[in-house]
């Protein structure tokens, strides 16, 4: 004779169930998942006490994917605007840098340094500056985003994953490099168009 508990349950099968989570195996197609849902729907009891509702994570995932795509488009526009604003800031900084080194540039020109050599030196400087800044910013942003994704996955009890925006990252690095070259080449071209003695006289 089995001993019943205080709730009148003597077997595990008699324990009332509120929720059943079914995790599909890796590699299961959408068609196979649909067949399983149809089988569960056909065997569902509507009027009895044991009726249940079927909710699929794939339905919620589609809404999440749509929201993520919309947010991605918005962030792409914001990224373009931010890069355009940063271009003027970078151009002002490089113009001030070249202006402060007028004397050194004039001396290099006087000893025979070519314009191509000066372009290469300052473009390398700008490229290292913008690429390192871009990689540092993306690294910090990816760390914060990954932490927030883990936090949301814990709070919502949903398997949300972190997706790094490689397309946006490529655009940012390419735009940063292009803007770095332009912000250096424009003021340097104006300076190299002058005579060496004119640059030396202005630098004094």
pLDDT digits over 118-141, tens only? Answer: 888 888 888 888 888 888 988 998
- Taking Cα atoms as reference points, which of 21, 78, 77, 31 lies closest to residue 52? 21
Q: Which residues, other chains included, contact 90 with Cβ-Cβ below 8 Å and sequence gap of 6+?
A: 126, 130, 179, 180, 183
63-90 tens-digit pLDDT: 777 887 888 788 888 888 888 888 888 8
Residues of the chain with pLDDT under 70: 1-20, 44-52, 58, 158, 203-204
Distance of CA 28 to the CA centre of its chain: 29
Structure token pair of residue 52: 């249940």
First to last CA, the chain: 107
Phi then psi dihedrals of residue 128, to 5 deg: -65, -40
């Amino acid at each position: 004779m089995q001993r019943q508990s205080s709730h009148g349950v003597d077997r595990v099968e008699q324990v009332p169930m509120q929720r059943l989570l079914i995790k599909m195996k890796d590699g299961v197609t959408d068609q196979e998942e649909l067949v399983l849902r149809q089988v569960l729907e056909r065997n569902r009891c509507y009027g009895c006490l044991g009726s249940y509702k079927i909710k699929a994570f794939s339905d919620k995932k589609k809404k999440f994917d749509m929201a993520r795509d919309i947010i991605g488009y918005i962030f792409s526009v914001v990224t373009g605007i931010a890069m355009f604003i940063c271009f003027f800031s970078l151009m002002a900084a490089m113009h001030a840098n070249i202006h402060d080194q007028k004397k050194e540039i004039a001396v290099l020109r006087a000893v025979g340094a070519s314009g191509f050599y000066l372009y290469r030196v300052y473009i390398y400087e700008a490229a290292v500056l913008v690429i390192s800044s871009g990689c540092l910013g993306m690294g910090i942003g990816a760390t914060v985003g990954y932490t927030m994704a883990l936090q949301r996955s814990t709070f919502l009890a949903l398997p949300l994953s972190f997706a790094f925006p490689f397309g946006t990252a490529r655009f940012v690095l390419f735009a940063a490099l292009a803007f770095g070259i332009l912000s250096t080449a424009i003021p340097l071209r104006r300076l190299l168009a002058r005579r060496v003695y004119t640059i030396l006289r202005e630098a004094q």
